[in-house]
A = this chain, B = another copy of it.
Amino acid sequence: MTTISKSATTLTLINTFKVAPDKQQTLIDLLDRATENVMRKQPGFISANIHRSLDGTKVANYAQWRSKADLEAMQKNPEAGVHMKEAAALADSFEPILYEVFSVHGG
């Protein structure tokens, strides 16, 4: 279970992949395996939450890292790089955006 709360330090990365519907599940499986085998072992990893769009054309990863420095260190890791290239090759495009949580309503 992942929790979202307002934090001065946690970094949120929302990476949205556009993908052909017939490749959506393959991309999801790849991200799922890469997260379990590589990403979650990197320093500063907090969580990754893989989302499947109902229309079949998107996959979103809502990920939390301890800091921007930790995320950047992961991105330089060669093993992570292999998986990121595989995901990029499967997707039509992807857009990773760095956020901080401003407010949480309900829960």
Contacts and interface: CB of A to CB of B under 8 A. Distances in A.
Interface of A: 1-5, 12, 14, 16, 28, 32, 35-36, 39-40, 45-55, 58, 60, 62, 64, 68, 97-107
Q: How many copies does the complex hold?
A: 2
B105 A48 contact: yes
Q: 3 closest pairs, A vs B, by CB?
A: A51-B99, A47-B106, A2-B4
Q: Is chain A's interface secondary structure helix, strand, loop, or mixed overall? A: strand
Given A1-B4, A14-B60, A62-B62, A105 B53 contact: no
Contact of A103 (B5, B50, B101, B103): B50
Contacts of A101: 49-51
